[in-house]
Amino acid sequence: MSMTFSGQVALVTGAAAGIGRATALAFAEHGLKVLVVDLDSAGGEGTAELIRQAGGEALFLPCDVTKDAQVQQMMTQAVDAYSRVDYAFNNAGIEIEKGRLAEGSEAEFDAIMGVNVKGVWLCMKYQLPLMMAQGGGAIVNTASVAGLGAAPKMSIYSASKHAVIGLTKSAAIEYAKKHIRVNAVCPAVIDTDMFRRAHEADPRKAEFAATMHPVGRIGKVEEIAAAVLYLCSDGAAFTTGHSLAVDGGVTAF
């Protein structure tokens, strides 16, 4: 079954690198116009330029997803540019926690919840009315396998991803009859620049991360992008409120 699309415009947050960049490129490869959204202007513009170099159409929109006014302005710019947003991948997120719950700080809590939860909520807050007005759409939010179970020494991050799944399921039910599907993708450990930076000082940790997955390796950004495109495509027309684990078998235990 090939993935087909009924719309023309995709929006990706956190698109400056990693999963976001890979997904933006994948949307463009399928012929969609792509709105590249990130706080990192250099990286975001770099993603848009890669799309243009490959013959696609892309526009970079700088945005801090934790700021209501900026998200609202970003969505206004998206409509001004392309009139509609058919698919939205709310992917912007951070992971800065490395200790047990009682060792965490208020600053860590606010930062993680601000981007991972408030950011997703704000994006959907402005995407959903637009999609209702245009007759439908599809949204995919980035959660994590940490949102499907426990994540020792990452309790705040885990809580934030559980919250993303809660937002996803609730929105899916609220807007199902408005022809808007809302799903989440739940990656395990993925080979991103962030992962490499975190393990460059101790390669043994990177090797251990691979052994955590029954398939014997960590995931690729392109594999998450493929899952996102599937959830947006007509092939998933009967799928909403679902949290899709793309995890090399981690959650099968």
Provide the residue-wise pLDDT of the chain in tens; the chain has 253 residues.
Answer: 567 776 799 999 999 999 999 999 999 999 999 999 999 999 999 999 999 999 999 999 999 999 999 999 999 999 999 999 999 999 999 988 889 999 999 999 999 999 999 999 999 999 999 999 999 999 999 999 999 999 999 999 999 999 999 999 999 999 999 999 999 999 999 998 877 776 666 777 777 888 899 999 999 999 999 999 999 999 999 999 999 999 999 999 8
Residues 6+ apart with CB under 8 A from 28: 34, 51, 54, 56, 57, 58
CATH T-level assignment (fold) for domain 9-191+221-245: Rossmann fold (3.40.50)
Check residue 98 and give its pLDDT. Answer: 84
Complete edge-to-edge strand list for the sheet that includes strand 58-62: 58-62, 33-38, 9-13, 87-90, 137-142, 180-187, 243-246
Check residue 172 and give its pLDDT. Answer: 98
Check residue 210 and give its pLDDT. Answer: 86
Residues 6+ apart with CB under 8 A from 243: 143, 147, 148, 165, 168, 169, 183, 184, 185, 186
* Contact criterion met (CB below 8 Å) for 140 and 184: yes
Q: pTM score, two decimals?
A: 0.96
Residues 6+ apart with CB under 8 A from 206: 195, 196, 199
Choose, from 82, 87, 126, 157, the residue flagged as catalytic: 157
Check residue 201 and give its pLDDT. Answer: 63
For residue 157, indicate whether it is catalytic: yes
State the Cα angle at 28 between 25 and 34, rounded to 5°: 95
- The secondary structure of the chain in percent helix, strand, coil, rounded to multiples of 5, reads 55, 15, 30
